[in-house]
Chains A and B, each alone.
Chain A
Amino acid sequence: MPRRRDRKEQMLAAAQYPLDWLEERSGLIGGLRYFLFRKVPGDSGWWHTLGSATLTAFLVQLGTGVILAMYYKPDPKSAYESVQHINNDVTLGWLVRGMHRWGASVFIILIFFHMARVFLFGAYKYPRELNWVVGVLLLPLALLEGFSGYLLPYDQTAYWATVVGININGTGPFIGPFLASFLRSGPEITGDTLSRFYSIHMLLLPGAILGLIGLHLYLVVRLGVSSPPWSPEAAGRERAEPPPVPGSGLVNPAPRGVTKRPD
């Protein structure tokens, strides 16, 4: 049945064609293949999922945030009512708002967990110092997201927590008072404050976080995920001190097979 075979091959080729087309013009398919099929240490496991879990929480914030922005009105006269509207009238609005509200907490908790895992695994050591720095920069940005979003529902808690929060900024040396009056956009909290917080919350900070996450992931892929510190694979440390072999100094790695991963 040579004919049927031909047809199958033709179909495969037809399915392959757009991918080849894209690959030839962009290299994106190759990039994706590299990303998916790159090797990670054999004993990397659940501890290594905290970073991508953090990313997931952030993506939930982006998605729910976009939906909330379709109904929210950053104006002191209507902000509170628009949030009530989301809560009470919009289909599943309560769910989207609830996910955004509590997703923020989950995001922050996960950042701390991820940071703790990286610290305890010593994964910030050479050559991943830069990625640690990028991570540390992400932390205050995430906290500021929480701070700037807190005002938006414009209820009593939101309003007064922000008043005090901004005033605390004002106690900072040198730039403190300027920062406070910048955030407030004047000496008092007004409508401009609210739209300023809104812009910071949904454009400035998410943009910065997204950019830094991109850099963070680029470095993760480029350097490879570190193996756990107990790993028999070279976890960036000496193996169980291999017997010195002539000709194997520090520059020439010790010969293979001195230690083996248990199967």
Chain B
Amino acid sequence: MASRRVEENRVAFQRYKEDVKRDGKPFYPYAMFHDTVMSLVVVCVIVGLAFVWHYTSLLGPSLAAKADPGTVSFVPRPDWYFYFLFYLLRIFKWPNSVILGTVGIPTILLILALAIPFIDLRRERRLLRRPIAIVAAVLVALSMGVLTYKGATAKEALGAELLADVPNWVKSEQLPPQALPGAKLFATSGCLNCHTYQGVGGSQLGAPNLSAEGSKNKGITFQIAHLKCPSCVNKGSPMPSFAAFGNANLRKLAIFLEASKGPH
């Protein structure tokens, strides 16, 4: 015995089919006309964007420098439609809740999306009579929009400007002179693309603030090992390896990190 709702659904769909058969219009040429116009608009927009990309700099360079795994400064930036995901990483801070941001929220959203037709079983389709659907749609659109915007405008740290900040760090952290080479390396090596230090740096990735990293007293050896292979030391860390810097440079960085006991 089919339930009453199933019965009603079937009747309504039957009625839809009869109505459309009687009063509907043939797909060709009516709907197909709309589809064709819209498709032409889409192709024109795509071609237009290609032209803008080629002839202006509005859409950014067509190629950055060649990939170099050994470089020290880089800006890890995904394509814009991942900004909202990347920005989640700033909200769910490393390391405790990062899994929520990287895997948890996207998975939950996907499962929710899959479940929508099985949760919302009413036949009502008029928007004004579906308040929950309206609120949900507005919230989702708003949060994705805001996250994308924030991801797009998140500050990118530039090595040269950051270098000018090093004297301030020396003052506020009371860094010893032997930490200075490491501080300069730290400012110019791309660390601050993901991390923050004394209020500078930090991009979309939400890696931890390192201003007081040294107060954990993990030791030089640990710091070097971590820089060589972050995920070997912190299981699951998304930080890239900096082994290509060489031992001497890594030691400088480690000394600087251990000397960073936080602002005084």
**13 pairs from A and B in contact (CB 8 Å cutoff):** A57-B42, A87-B63, A123-B125, A127-B13, A136-B114, A154-B67, A155-B63, A156-B71, A168-B102, A172-B99, A172-B102, A226-B125, A229-B126
Selecting from A1-9, A10-18, A32-40, A203-211, the interface stretch reads A32-40
Instruction: Answer whether residue A185 sits at the interface, using C-beta atoms and an 8 A cutoff.
Output: no
Query: How far is A54 from B204 in the complex, measured between Cα atoms in Å?
Result: 29
Instruction: Answer whether residue A178 sits at the interface, using C-beta atoms and an 8 A cutoff.
Output: no
Expressed in whole angstroms, the minimum distance between the Cβ of A224 and any Cβ of chain B is 6
Q: Is the CB of B49 within 8 A of A106?
A: yes
Q: Is the CB of B237 within 8 A of A49?
A: no
Q: Is the CB of A150 within 8 A of B79?
A: yes
Q: Apart from A234-B15, A250-B8, list 14 A-B contacts with CB within 8 A.
A: A53-B41, A60-B42, A80-B67, A94-B62, A122-B127, A125-B122, A155-B66, A156-B74, A160-B75, A164-B194, A165-B78, A167-B231, A168-B102, A234-B12
Q: Is the CB of A116 within 8 A of B137?
A: yes
Instruction: Answer whether residue B59 sits at the interface, using C-beta atoms and an 8 A cutoff.
Output: yes
Query: How far is A3 from B69 in the complex, measured between Cα atoms in Å?
Result: 81
Q: Is the CB of A40 within 8 A of B34?
A: no
Knowing A42-B23, A48-B31, A80-B67 are in contact, say whether A171-B81 is a contact too (CB < 8 A): no
Selecting from B50-58, B169-177, B215-223, B251-259, the interface stretch reads B50-58
Q: Is the CB of B42 within 8 A of A110?
A: yes
Instruction: Answer whether residue A157 sits at the interface, using C-beta atoms and an 8 A cutoff.
Output: yes
- Please report whether the interface of chain B is mostly helix, strand, loop or mixed according to DSSP: helix
Expressed in whole angstroms, the minimum distance between the Cβ of A175 and any Cβ of chain B is 10
- Count residues of chain A with CB under 8 A from any CB of chain B: 100
Query: How far is A98 from B237 in the complex, measured between Cα atoms in Å?
Result: 35
Q: Is the CB of A133 within 8 A of B114?
A: yes
Query: How far is A157 from B74 in the complex, measured between Cα atoms in Å?
Result: 7
**Inter-chain contacts of A250 with B (CB < 8 A):** 4, 7-8, 11
Instruction: Answer whether residue B131 sits at the interface, using C-beta atoms and an 8 A cutoff.
Output: no
**Inter-chain contacts of A65 with B (CB < 8 A):** none
Q: Give the nearest-CB partner of A103 in chain B.
A: B46
**Inter-chain contacts of B31 with A (CB < 8 A):** 40, 44, 48, 225
Q: Is the CB of B20 within 8 A of A41?
A: yes
Query: How far is A14 from B179 in the complex, measured between Cα atoms in Å?
Result: 90
Expressed in whole angstroms, the minimum distance between the Cβ of B255 and any Cβ of chain A is 26
